[in-house]
């Protein structure tokens, strides 16, 4: 049963500060992603960020009448804060900075996950991994966990361990080009409940820019075209079905019928606009389709090979994978093979991905790195090795197809 939490109000001297507003929203949603420290807290008072960030109902005595967190008398006034520090370093290891005139937001770096090809493989009836009548090996799809939109859903074989690891070290979100109904169902099928409830967002096709591949500009929108002298447009510089009213007016069937040949482009600027505490310094899109990421944001995207969802039974040439009248006997032949001869065709791909994210977690946990100062006048400065340098060193060596 999920523990209920009370909403938290944290006063900052800039009431319209979009970074603090975003942090408060996320703290209310899930303390696992964000911790907020008011200016002037002593080191021993800042040891447990998650405990400070969440007020349980049985601890309501620590709340003031207006719902704000009680600040120690020794702390500086919020109006004295001149700088807000946003850092993606590990909560437990980050040292308190010497200046007392600052507010600090601790965040986990954001990983935006695609679904099909990354967390699962969707098998359509027309596709089969078997095509020859006689082979020295038998390849077939792994066990499906359910059927959705006329497709069998085959999860990655390390799904639970992979998601648990990512959830410990990163803030997770989902952005899929599937329809809203399919996206919701896939998330319920693939994510454990505790991880699913902590997702920053679940975005679907309506959040993408649906554009013909040859017309995509650097932002992932349709290229602007010239207008005729009579004022009629030769093209539009807008997303297809960009407004919410248009999106709601089209069912999933209509989208499937009318958007063939279009690319569902994911522009990370939408993420950063909606959640401004994340930006190009601490966000990574994981999608197996490079054409879904605009050129402007390609340095914040990695594209491992898509999952194939199959396993191979290596045996002698007498084993047939042909669908024939003797299918029952053939199935027994496959079943009776030694387990050591079964090869997960996604294992190498999944292992490389897991190793990559282990390195990424270690990189982001270094307490001396990636501290981003945002002054009240909007000036931003970043210390430490940047994300591009890490990706340049490790992404392609782990088959992640990254480019800057």
Judged against a pLDDT cut of 60, whether residue 56 lies above it is answered with no
Residue 304 contacts residue 289 (beta carbons within 8 Å) = no
Q: In the predicted model, what is the mean pLDDT of residues 169-197?
A: 96
Is 338 among the domain residues? Answer: no
Residue 223 is classified by DSSP as P
Q: Which two tokens stand for residue 206?
A: 């309506």
Same domain membership, residue 302 and residue 182: yes
Judged against a pLDDT cut of 60, whether residue 8 lies above it is answered with no
Q: Label residue 85 by pLDDT band (50, 70, 90).
A: low
Same domain membership, residue 188 and residue 102: no
Same domain membership, residue 375 and residue 248: yes
Q: Which two tokens stand for residue 316?
A: 């002698």
pLDDT of residue 365: 81
Q: Label residue 176 by pLDDT band (50, 70, 90).
A: very high
How many structural domains compose the chain? 2
Mean pLDDT check: name the lowest of 37-51, 170-184, 275-289, 368-382. Answer: 37-51
Q: What proportion of the chain, given as a percentage, has pLDDT over 70?
A: 51
pLDDT of residue 305: 97
Give the Cβ contact number of residue 190 at 10 Å.
Answer: 23
Judged against a pLDDT cut of 70, whether residue 199 lies above it is answered with yes
Is 4 among the domain residues? Answer: no
Same domain membership, residue 183 and residue 261: yes
Dist CA 113 CA 307 (whole Å): 14
Judged against a pLDDT cut of 60, whether residue 10 lies above it is answered with no
Dist CA 235 CA 216 (whole Å): 12
Q: Label residue 65 by pLDDT band (50, 70, 90).
A: very low
Q: In the predicted model, what is the mean pLDDT of residues 31-54?
A: 46
Is 7 among the domain residues? Answer: no
Mean pLDDT check: name the lowest of 45-59, 203-217, 293-307, 382-396. Answer: 45-59
Q: Label residue 399 by pLDDT band (50, 70, 90).
A: very high
Residue 267 sits in a domain whose CATH number is: 3.40.50
Q: In the predicted model, what is the mean pLDDT of residues 322-338?
A: 48
Same domain membership, residue 243 and residue 183: yes
pLDDT of residue 366: 74
Find residue 68's DSSP bridge partners: 9
Is 83 among the domain residues? Answer: yes
**DSSP string of 235-277?**
--SS-TT-SHHHHHTS-HHHHHHH-TTEEEE--HHHHHHHSTT
Q: In the predicted model, what is the mean pLDDT of residues 295-315?
A: 92
Contacts of the segment 192-198: beta carbons below 8 A, 24+ positions apart: 192/160, 192/163, 192/164, 195/163, 195/164, 195/167, 197/2, 197/30, 198/29, 198/30, 198/32, 198/33, 198/167, 198/172
Same domain membership, residue 282 and residue 195: yes
Rg of the chain over Cα atoms, rounded to whole angstroms, equals 25
Among 311, 361, 313, residue whose Cα is nearest residue 333? 313
Residue 178 is classified by DSSP as S
Is 391 among the domain residues? Answer: yes
Q: What residues contact residue 43 under an 8 Å CB cut-off, 6+ apart?
A: 95, 96
Dist CA 129 CA 148 (whole Å): 19
Phi, psi of 214 (to 5 degrees): -80, -5
**DSSP string of 90-102?**
-TTTPPPPS-SSE
Is 331 among the domain residues? Answer: no
- CA 155 to chain CA centroid, Å, is 17
pLDDT of residue 355: 97
pLDDT of residue 61: 35
Q: What proportion of the chain, given as a percentage, has pLDDT over 90?
A: 40
Same domain membership, residue 275 and residue 170: yes
Where in the sequence is the domain holding 293, given as residue range(s)?
112-119+156-309+345-398
Q: Which two tokens stand for residue 209?
A: 């820019």
Among 362, 357, 363, residue whose Cα is nearest residue 163? 357
Q: Which two tokens stand for residue 55?
A: 């007020």
Same domain membership, residue 298 and residue 384: yes
CA torsion angle 290 295 297 298 (round to 10) = 40
Is 147 among the domain residues? Answer: no
pLDDT in tens, 94-139: 454 444 445 667 788 999 999 999 999 999 875 555 444 344 468 8
Residue 128 contacts residue 152 (beta carbons within 8 Å) = no
Token match 């990370």: residue? Answer: 268
Residue 197 is classified by DSSP as T
pLDDT of residue 254: 33
Mean pLDDT check: name the lowest of 34-48, 155-169, 230-244. Answer: 230-244
Same domain membership, residue 192 and residue 81: no
Instruction: Report the chain's mean pLDDT, rounded to a whole number.
Output: 70
Token match 């996206």: residue? Answer: 183
Same domain membership, residue 276 and residue 170: yes
Q: In the predicted model, what is the mean pLDDT of residues 345-359?
A: 97
Dist CA 56 CA 266 (whole Å): 37
**DSSP string of 336-357?**
TS-GGGEEETTHHHHHHHHHHH
Same domain membership, residue 164 and residue 93: no
Q: Which two tokens stand for residue 109?
A: 């770096």
Same domain membership, residue 36 and residue 167: no
Among 168, 173, 165, residue whose Cα is nearest residue 115? 173
Is 325 among the domain residues? Answer: no
Q: What residues contact residue 340 under an 8 Å CB cut-off, 6+ apart?
A: none
Judged against a pLDDT cut of 80, whether residue 336 lies above it is answered with no
pLDDT in tens, 208-262: 998 886 555 455 455 555 444 444 443 433 333 333 333 333 333 333 434 567 8
């Amino acid at each position: 049963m999920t523990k209920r939490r009370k909403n938290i109000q944290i006063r900052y001297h800039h009431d319209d500060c979009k970074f603090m507003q975003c942090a408060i929203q996320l703290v209310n949603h899930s303390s696992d992603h964000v911790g907020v420290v008011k200016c002037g807290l002593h080191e021993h008072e800042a040891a447990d960020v998650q405990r400070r960030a969440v007020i349980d109902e049985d601890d309501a005595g620590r709340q003031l009448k207006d719902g704000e967190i009680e600040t120690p008398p020794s702390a500086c006034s919020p109006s004295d804060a001149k700088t807000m520090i946003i850092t993606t370093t590990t909560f437990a290891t980050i040292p308190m900075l010497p200046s007392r005139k600052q507010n600090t937001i601790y965040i986990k770096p954001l990983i935006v996950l695609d679904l099909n090809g990354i967390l699962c493989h969707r098998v359509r009836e027309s596709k089969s991994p078997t095509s020859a009548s006689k082979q020295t090996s038998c390849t077939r799809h792994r066990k499906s966990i359910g059927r959705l939109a006329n497709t069998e859903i085959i999860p990655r074989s390390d799904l639970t361990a992979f998601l648990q690891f990512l959830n410990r070290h990163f803030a997770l979100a989902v952005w899929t080009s599937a329809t809203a109904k399919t996206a919701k169902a896939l998330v319920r099928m693939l994510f454990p409940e505790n991880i699913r409830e902590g997702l920053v967002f679940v975005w679907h096709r309506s959040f993408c820019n649906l554009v013909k591949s040859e017309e995509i500009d650097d932002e992932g929108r349709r290229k602007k075209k010239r207008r005729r002298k009579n004022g009629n447009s030769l093209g539009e510089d807008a997303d297809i079905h960009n407004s919410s009213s248009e999106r709601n007016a089209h069912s999933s069937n209509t989208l499937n019928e009318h958007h063939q040949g279009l690319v569902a482009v994911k522009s990370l600027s939408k993420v950063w606009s909606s959640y401004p505490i994340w930006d190009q310094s601490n966000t990574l899109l994981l999608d197996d389709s490079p054409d879904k990421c605009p050129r402007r944001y390609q340095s914040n995207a990695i594209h491992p090979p898509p999952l194939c969802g199959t396993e191979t039974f290596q045996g002698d040439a007498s084993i047939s994978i042909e669908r024939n009248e003797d299918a029952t006997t053939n199935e027994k032949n496959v079943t009776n093979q030694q387990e050591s001869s079964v090869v997960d065709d996604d294992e190498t791909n999944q292992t490389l991905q897991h190793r990559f994210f282990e390195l990424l977690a270690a990189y982001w946990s270094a307490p001396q790195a990636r501290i981003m100062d945002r002054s009240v006048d909007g000036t931003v400065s970043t210390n430490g090795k940047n994300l591009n340098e890490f990706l340049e060193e490790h992404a392609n060596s782990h088959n992640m197809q990254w480019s800057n």
